[in-house]
Chain A
């Protein structure tokens, strides 16, 4: 089984990303959407948590939400992939289950 975890809040606002990271198992994917896209940036107070998680899980970020917030891709943590909504859909089909961290 592989799981897609969706997070939609900045890690500096809520603990949902941290909670998610603490409940992912190897091979899972975390998709950051809405305000969670801020947590895909490097050099933030939460970047090391995300970088640590990336040893075991893949991290993707929703491009339209990045653009809306003025974040250019070069500001992202190395290894984070950017997907559009079609890519979001594909992530849900490639994984067996989906969990949203509200």
Chain B
């Protein structure tokens, strides 16, 4: 079965991103496909590579990057939400004249249409938020 996942909260403050991660892992282990993980609202902050959590805590952002690498996942950060919150890729850096970029490996920035498309293409769409 194909899953579309939408993560609506950022890392650490809420459990939503952790729950979504463990759900994706379990779905993949059961042989299902994750069509896309979409990050919306503060969820876009899961896509930063500027975070340095303490060594004894989980690294939520890296965990997503690693899962994406291992399973060729499509991790999409909403552009409108990302612009509000300062998640920047190379394109956004150039367009908006920013000094650097901070999008983590395995994430890409795209439009809200990607969430709707996930809803259409996936057999089940599941929202993790607060």
**Which residues, 98 to 130 on B, are CB-close (under 8 Å) to A?**
124-130
- Chain B: interface secondary structure? mixed
A100 CB, nearest partner CB in chain B, Å: 4
| Bitwise interface map of A from 64 to 102 toward B, beta carbon under 8 Å scored 1, else 0 | 100000000000000000001110111011000110101
Assess whether A100 is in contact with B128, with CB atoms less than 8 Å apart: yes
A5 CB, nearest partner CB in chain B, Å: 12
Identity of the chain B residue whose Cβ is nearest the Cβ of A97 in the assembled complex: B124
Assess whether A88 is in contact with B26, with CB atoms less than 8 Å apart: yes
Identity of the chain B residue whose Cβ is nearest the Cβ of A99 in the assembled complex: B127
Assess whether A100 is in contact with B23, with CB atoms less than 8 Å apart: no
Interface size class of A (residues with CB under 8 A): 10 to 19
Partner of A89, one of B15, B16, B30: B30
Assess whether A8 is in contact with B30, with CB atoms less than 8 Å apart: no
Partner of A93, one of B1, B16, B29, B128: B1
**B interface vs A, CB < 8 Å?**
1, 3, 8, 15-16, 19, 22-23, 25-27, 29-30, 32, 124-130
